[in-house]
Amino acid sequence: MTTPKSTITYTYTDEAPTLALYSLLPIIEAYAAQAGIDVELKDISLAGRIIAAFPDQLEAAQRQPDDLAELGVAVTLPEANIIKLPNISASMPQVKAAVAELQAQGYAVPDVPDDPKSDAERATLARYKTVLGSCVNPVLRQGNSDRRAPASVKHYARTHPHAMGAWTPASKTNVAHMSTGDFYSNERSAVMRAAGSLRIELIGLDGETTALRPALPVLEGEVIDAATLQVGALRDFLVAQISRAKEEDVLFCVHLKSTMMKVSDPIIFGHVVRAFFPNTFARFGDVLAGAGLNPNDGLGAILGGLDALAEGPEIAASFAAELKEGPRLAMVDSTKGITTLHAPNDIIVDASMPAMIRASGHMWDADGNEADTLAVIPDQSYAGIYQVVIDDCRAHGAFDPATLGSVPNVGLMAGAAEEYGSHDKTFEIPCDGTVRVSNDSNETVFEMSVERGDIFRMCQTKDVPIRNWVELAVSRARATGDPAVFWLDSRRAHDANIIAKVRTYLADHDLTGLEIEIMSPEDATAFSLERIRRGLNTISVTGNVLRDYLTDLFPIMELGTSAKMLSIVPLLNGGGLFETGAGGSAPKHVEQLERENFLRWDSLGEFLALAASFEHLANRTSNARANVLADTLDRATGRVLNDDRSPGRKVGAIDNRGSHFYLALYWAQELAIQTDDAELAEVFSPLSVALAASEATIVSELLAVQGHAVDVGGHFHPDAETATSIMRPSPTFNALLSTLG
């Protein structure tokens, strides 16, 4: 039987998902080839993006194409079929660490200039800003998000419930947010009457005008927002919360998104560091600034640079004294003395808050003990949802995964919607004055008074993605019979405009028999929690940031991890993007691999995404074998779960490589007994027999390498040959897989 040639694009990203790919990709390539499917690899890793940004400074053999830009074109094509693994949303310290690693490997990429003085340095910094933060997702996500727990995963979670920390009414854990002066309080919103462009200008008190963004293209019907966070109000708020944490004897921890919100949140993080160490910065702030030690990069970067300063010991002692005098600070690693203020990328709100809630509302103190925590989330736009969850747990106890319902999500993210598309329109204001946003006719759209240090941002949400988002929500409600709730706050300027559009576009659909609601995020949280405690499902229909937050929050309660979610992005022009879960734990898994040759990373998200990718390919083309691969892979994945073949936690159990072997075994067995394609069954029958006969040998070979330190050649840019050797240590398995040809 001849099959049409088709292509699936796999992404090479960072850390544990990339190391796992060296083991998994050969299996995928071998099995997909039997259906005439090519698997191409595109490098969108942080190191790869840096290398692609500086071709003029590298040797010819070191250069590589800008795969992210190529994928930016590909996602607009109907034939797009892309599997996206978790990637680093890099903070500036991570970019600097990746640069140092590449330089040590012989790549002549330039240093990151902290304070560029020349045009050349400014140009270099501009290139590095293109790889900073979540630069990948806005390029690839040219569609809205459909994220849910597959039935097999949900069944496994209910029959094998994960541990949840106990809650008591006496818990002192709470969320603190600003009530005035934040983005939420100051937001303005407008709907564009016509296509054109906007101009963002800063007009100083002396009348001098600076163009912050000279030309911002907009479309008819697009929702445009502008907001400022007032730095004076932020400082007052932080001082109050530091005092509150000490008075209430709870841990202090700020929860931000310094990776995704790559301009605003690192600045806010820097203010938190300053507020926690007021005396040190009052005495030594100028010295630290002169040495390029920026609190935006975190306490760790500052402490690491003190050895070069004559005042270094005195400054270190001052930091230590204020740590002792202030409230207890939540820790990232108590044994190493790493606080939650050490690096802006260590505590990321969408992952850190669910982890805290799951752990009885506790984080770790300096002595390695769990304690109640004051979770500080400065902007109030979404902070309230976490307080609702905390109050619910305080009143009703921990969630029970064995009986818990589900909260799938339909997320508005196409076209870099909302705050996650604000990076190129976010500015730290250099002087007192007014920010004016005007259109092509020089009419004022927004005008805001600002002070030096305030953070101004603008966001865009295009009309076509909004219409598609509503359609996707209605289709999911119809397919499942579950209520669909739009999480929108009528008191917020942006949401008020979105609500008007939602109501308009809902009128285009037959809603007979469907339950469609619009609720504020706090009310929607309470509504969804009441239902999931009764085992019922509720579809959350949210904007881009809440999509991110909720697709960690509820899955971590339901499944123990968000990595087990099925994440489908139907691209606006007909293609498909399939995402594989969260990568927040990826750095720790790399450390464990290097320490004891044991990779705990679970590739389940990739198994789920791959099956959805095959199914999409079958529906878009005449390749019937792709559907056979999808169905058999689904069944094989269910067996991996039910037979407990997922990676263990410690040396002696099977790890990521072992789970891949069992996927290959079960997949071959399912293909060998399927009846839709006799020729394909005949191809896989001998492999399934051989793999089963060699199971003990293969598992023994995989276990034998554990317990010893290994070096993959780089954290951000591992050596491919070395990583392949480490991640494919079973000669028996490798030889049998090669028989597929």
Mean pLDDT of the chain: 95
In the predicted model, what is the mean pLDDT of residues 516-524?
A: 98
Asked if the model's pLDDT at residue 151 lies above 90, the reply is no
Please write the tens of the pLDDT for every residue from 296-323: 999 999 999 999 999 999 999 999 999 9
Instruction: Work out the burial of residue 156: count CB atoms within 10 Å of its CB; fewer than 13 is exposed, 13-18 middle, 19 or more buried.
Output: buried
Which two structure tokens, joined as six digits, stand for 115?
């304070």
The model's pTM: 0.87
Asked if the model's pLDDT at residue 99 lies above 80, the reply is yes
Dihedral, 597, 602, 604, 605 alpha carbons, nearest 10? -120
Please write the tens of the pLDDT for every residue from 216-237: 999 999 999 999 999 999 999 9
Give the separation between CA 665 and CA 465, rounded to whole angstroms: 41
Which two structure tokens, joined as six digits, stand for 17?
């998902």
Among candidate residues 225, 296, 310, 234, the one with its CA nearest the CA of residue 267: 296
CA separation, residue 610 to residues 77, 98, 567, 619 (Å): 19, 29, 11, 14
What does the domain layout of the chain look like in residue ranges? 6-142+571-738, 184-229+427-459
The DSSP-derived string for 592-653 is HHHHHS------HHHHHHHHHHHHHHHHHSS-HHHHHHHHHHHHHHHHHHHTT-S--SSBTB
Please write the tens of the pLDDT for every residue from 646-669: 999 999 999 999 999 999 999 999
In the predicted model, what is the mean pLDDT of residues 180-206?
A: 97
Decide: helix, strand or coil at residue 262: coil
CA separation, residue 345 to residues 259, 329, 356, 423 (Å): 6, 16, 17, 17
Asked if the model's pLDDT at residue 1 lies above 50, the reply is no
CB-CB neighbours of 338 under 10 Å = 16
Give the separation between CA 467 and CA 672, rounded to whole angstroms: 44
Give the separation between CA 467 and CA 465, rounded to whole angstroms: 5
In the predicted model, what is the mean pLDDT of residues 364-372?
A: 96
Give the separation between CA 615 and CA 629, rounded to whole angstroms: 8
List residues bridging with 568 in a β-sheet: 146, 578
* pLDDT at site 152: 83
Is 284 in contact with 156 (CB distance < 8 Å)? no
Please write the tens of the pLDDT for every residue from 336-363: 999 999 999 899 999 999 999 999 999 9
* pLDDT at site 580: 84
CB-CB neighbours of 738 under 10 Å = 10
Is 605 in contact with 580 (CB distance < 8 Å)? yes
Among candidate residues 140, 65, 31, 49, the one with its CA nearest the CA of residue 580: 140
Structure confidence at residue 2 as a pLDDT band (50, 70, 90): very low
Give residue 723's identity as a one-letter amino acid code. Answer: A
Decide: helix, strand or coil at residue 424: helix
* pLDDT at site 355: 95
* pLDDT at site 5: 61
The DSSP-derived string for 427-470 is EE--SSEEEEEE-TT--EEEEEEE-TT-EEEEEEE-HHHHHHHH
CA separation, residue 729 to residues 224, 226, 504, 705, 724 (Å): 53, 54, 58, 7, 8
Structure confidence at residue 373 as a pLDDT band (50, 70, 90): very high
Which H or E run contains 319? helix 312-325
- Percent of residues, the chain, with pLDDT higher than 70: 99
Please write the tens of the pLDDT for every residue from 542-584: 999 999 999 999 999 999 988 788 889 999 999 999 988 665 5
Place of tokens 């489908």: 568
Asked if the model's pLDDT at residue 741 lies above 80, the reply is no
